[in-house]
Amino acid sequence: MRKIVIILLITCLAVVQTSCSSSRDTSDKSANSTEIAANGQVYQWPTEEWSTSTPEKQAIASEQLDKADKRIDENYPNIYSLLVVRNGCLVYEKYYNGASEDTYNPVYSVTKSVLSALTGIAVHEKVLSSTDQKVSDIIPDYFASLDNNKKKDITLKNVLTMTGGLETIDTNYPGFFSSPDWLEYALEKPLTNEPGSKFVYNTGLTHILSGIITAKTGMNTKEYADKYLFGPLNIKVKRWDRDSAGTYGGGTGLYLTPRDMAKFGYLYLNKGKWEDKQLIPQEWVEESTKKQIQASEEVGYGYLFWVQTMTDKTRNKLYETYRADGAGGQKIIVIPEINTIAVVTANLNSSSRDKADTQNLVEDYVLPAIK
């Protein structure tokens, strides 16, 4: 009996030692629920603020993260922030070049992944029927006078997987952003491939999703996001660029803080659940973050998420990851196997001295830090 009591005490102490800490009063569980992870660690949803922990308490080697900090100083004058979350705890958070936790950064194409989430919510809310639904049936006015009837075959899935077949607008940003209606501009591009047949990255395609949400919900995209996504996560969006027609950018234009980017990643790590509510259907999260089409030799693409195997070269260990990825090195990288999220923000108008992608910091320093 005495041995059992001692074992229980040791177990409880271990849980306390490895849990996150927060200065917040947690007596109001409705505001921010306490959860127990599969590994027995106690943490709290970061709705109000992130709970913090030392790297070591979450089985991360801090000396490896210190190497990342040193490497940023040596090679990455473009970096604004690097954050690491494990087991629901913010274990590493460093800012550079005048940035802070309150800095709103343009996240560029991370916006696309947000639109993926909103589309999944719209399907769940019966605003949209399925990913097989044709875009022309949802917003027919935009297709009334187009030059090629095959454009009417473009489905939501084609948009979500960058297989719409339209010539990309990404070779002419000035033309796209100066046009009065970005959605119209994107649809007027010639059809160069059969819809569904080939991956062609196209920011204009994802703007279509914003137009659809605006047309079908009775709310603009930001209002819809605030109600169903950002509101429950307690994300306050202060800027989201729009076209002259008033439609919020569906492929770029959103500004977020690094901590809010981590929240979005954490929502996906938890398969769309936040506190006691399923914000995004689990099935949608799983479909979004698995490879739907090959984007390049080493990278797949889901529903507006990049899917890639990353390597801890120090141990030759492979990790399946998915990420929201924006121009200039904005990253939300989710590594489900180790319950970890990494966030990077950076300056679009600068680059690393050796031209390395900011993702290298995660592969070269964060992954080897995991014990």
- The C-alpha atoms of residue 140 and residue 29 are separated, in whole angstroms, by 46
Three-state SS sequence of 195-260? CCCCCCCCHHHHHHHHHHHHHHHCCCHHHHHHHHHHHHHCCCCCCECECCCCCECCCCCEEECHHH
- The C-alpha atoms of residue 103 and residue 255 are separated, in whole angstroms, by 9
Summarised one tens digit per residue, pLDDT across range 35-61 is 545 455 557 999 999 999 999 999 999
Same fold, 55-103+257-369 and 110-253: yes
Which whole number is the average pLDDT over 143-169? 96
Collapsing DSSP states into helix, strand and coil, what is residue 163?
A: coil
Q: How confident is the model at residue 27 (pLDDT cuts 50, 70, 90)?
A: very low
- The C-alpha atoms of residue 173 and residue 294 are separated, in whole angstroms, by 25
Summarised one tens digit per residue, pLDDT across range 238-283 is 999 999 999 999 999 999 999 999 999 999 999 999 999 999 999 9
Q: What CATH homologous superfamily does 55-103+257-369 map to?
A: DD-peptidase/beta-lactamase superfamily (3.40.710.10)
In this predicted structure, what is the pLDDT of residue 20?
A: 77
pTM for the whole structure: 0.92
- The C-alpha atoms of residue 269 and residue 278 are separated, in whole angstroms, by 13
In this predicted structure, what is the pLDDT of residue 147?
A: 86
Which whole number is the average pLDDT over 14-43? 50
Domain boundaries, the chain: 55-103+257-369, 110-253
What is 110-253's CATH number? 3.40.710.10
Strands 42-44 and 34-36: antiparallel
- The C-alpha atoms of residue 229 and residue 222 are separated, in whole angstroms, by 10
Which whole number is the average pLDDT over 342-356? 96
Give 70: exposed, middle or buried? Use CB within 10 Å, 0-12, 13-18, 19+: exposed
pLDDT at 32 over 80: no
- The C-alpha atoms of residue 227 and residue 221 are separated, in whole angstroms, by 10
Which whole number is the average pLDDT over 221-248? 98
Q: How confident is the model at residue 8 (pLDDT cuts 50, 70, 90)?
A: very low
Q: How confident is the model at residue 12 (pLDDT cuts 50, 70, 90)?
A: very low
Q: How confident is the model at residue 16 (pLDDT cuts 50, 70, 90)?
A: very low
Mean pLDDT of the chain: 92
> Do 243 and 182 meet the contact criterion of CB atoms below 8 Å apart?
yes
In this predicted structure, what is the pLDDT of residue 31?
A: 39
Summarised one tens digit per residue, pLDDT across range 83-122 is 999 999 999 999 999 999 999 999 999 999 999 999 999 9
In this predicted structure, what is the pLDDT of residue 35?
A: 59
